Structure 1
Amino acid sequence: MPRHFATLLLIATAACAPTTEWERAGTSLSQRQSDEKACLDLAQYQAFDESDKSKPIYPPFKDTQFTTDGGGDDGGGGGITTSYARRGARVYELSEYCMQQRGYYLVPIAKK
């Protein structure tokens, strides 16, 4: 039984591994990591700033995932608001844009 557990653990770990990475010609690993951190920091600040400005008058009971209508049960029409409950999707979008503006592009990671 322990042998099967180890195999399952290995498969689960491999499934969670990233499949792409950022690349730019002539860029060292340390420079890429520095750019990734800078873009992530900027993205997190921007996403927080955007969500902070939405200031809903009550906490959302549903995850709007940055829908423009607030994602209400009435089908929308409540004005432009941004979810402040989850900023992850917006952080990803902004950090991806930042890296692209710095000349990076995503490439598949070679299987080992």
Structure 2
Amino acid sequence: MLMTDERTHMLVLTGDAGIKNATEVATNLRQAIENHPAVAIDTRALSAADVTTVQSLLAARVSARAQGKELRLLAPLGGALQAVLSEAGFLTPGQEHAAFWSEQPDKPAGH
């Protein structure tokens, strides 16, 4: 499901966003970034996620930044993504991408 407003495009990830559907997830992320200056991702409807999901989201973040665009996750995170982040240590203090997973909007490095 896709929703838009004038500034931010909302991409709702649903179902299984793990390795079986990694190509589809990556394609949806890429298209949203290519077509909009700002993208907000809603992960609450995910039924499954794995480290591939995390990698896809981080790659999309890097791609958006490289294009001068904004990519952020809406809070609260979906339970499936939250579980993967916790189990894999992505939420530990000092982790490089910890701010991306929090409620704070994605900000350029150094800000």
- Decide: shared fold, TM above 0.5: no
Question: Looking at CA atoms only, which structure, 1 or 2, has the larger radius of gyration?
Answer: 1
> Which of structures 1 and 2 has the larger relative contact order (alpha carbons within 8 angstroms, sep 6+)?
1
More strand by share: 2
Q: TM-score range by the shorter chain?
A: under 0.3
